Amino acid sequence: MIVIGCDHGGLELKQTLITYLTSIGEGVTDCGTYNSDSVDYPDIAEKTCKRYLDGGYDFGILICGTGIGISMAANKIDGIRCALVGTEYAAEMTKRHNDANFLAFGGRVMGPELAISVLKAYMNAEFEGGRHQKRIDKIHALEAQEETE
């Protein structure tokens, strides 16, 4: 099960990814937006990430115009490791080494074919653990440090 959300700049790409995911049998929860009216990407990031953290999802997808703002907002939420990816290699490595639980895409900068190819690369990769888990633990320690300051 995958959770997905976008602002107005990512609406078209979101629909493409939902169509692809459902065509391969994946369940998808759509957290909006649902039309082209302007919305603030931090609100969509928060809503979608909190839905993911409630449990039951394999990973999440966030989309804004460039993917930059929505990924920055998502990474402010404890437990979220959102990677803005632009290539199949980056998507594969963010799963293998960073165990990213969210992908971010730029709806105005990435075409639908590449987005699907990048998504496939992420979905086909497995987290390697080992030395990479140690690094993820350090990311979590940074989150905890922010809370105590």
Distance CA 19, CA 26 (A): 10
Residue in the structure block whose two tokens are 């369940």: 27
Report the residue count for the chain: 149
Catalytic (active site) residue 64: yes
Give the tokens for residue 111.
């075409």
Catalytic (active site) residue 8: no
Catalytic position from the list 31, 97, 132, 140 = 97
Catalytic position from the list 6, 49, 64, 82 = 64
Q: Where are the alpha helices (DSSP H) in 7-67?
A: 11-23, 41-53
Distance CA 116, CA 39 (A): 24
Task: List the catalytic residues.
Answer: 64, 97
